[in-house]
Amino acid sequence: MANRLITDDEFALFESYCLGWIEILGLQSWTVTILHKSHNNALGSCWSSYQDRTATIGLAKKYDVDYLKDGFLKETALHECLELLLSPLQDLAEDRGWDKADWTKERHAVIRTIENALLALNVH
């Protein structure tokens, strides 16, 4: 496989997918920056600060693929936004001084987000 450059047009598409997922997942309370930069040989990445409610979602400039399959950028954007959705739980788990009430609040926020997304599908 070649180390393929991710184009600016592909980044713009990724960015639009991220913004859509941020809205669907109810993550508008976060200040999110979306960057086109490489990090640790991953196609996508997400860094966040629970205390500040800030996050950076990144799409690599180069990636080890010959081509991007249909839907790959959309799936990667969803994955990174789900990382952001779960990041408060990760931060609380890593903080040995966390309060059970904070954990419960964040767990229920994730549950409500998933409920709202699934109910919006109007399957039943």
Would you call 13 helix, strand, or coil by DSSP? helix
Q: Is the pLDDT of residue 108 over 60?
A: yes
Q: Which two tokens stand for residue 29?
A: 């309370």
Q: Regarding predicted confidence, which is higher, 70 or 52?
A: 52
Overall size of the chain counted in residues: 124
Domain boundaries, the chain: 3-120
Q: Which two tokens stand for residue 32?
A: 């999110």
Q: Is the pLDDT of residue 46 over 90?
A: yes
Q: Does the model's pTM come out above 0.85?
A: no
Note the pLDDT tens digit of each residue in 23-37. 988 899 999 999 998
- CATH code at 3-120: 3.30.2010
How much is the mean pLDDT over the chain? 86
Give strand ranges (E) for 31-103.
31-36, 44-49, 54-59, 62-64
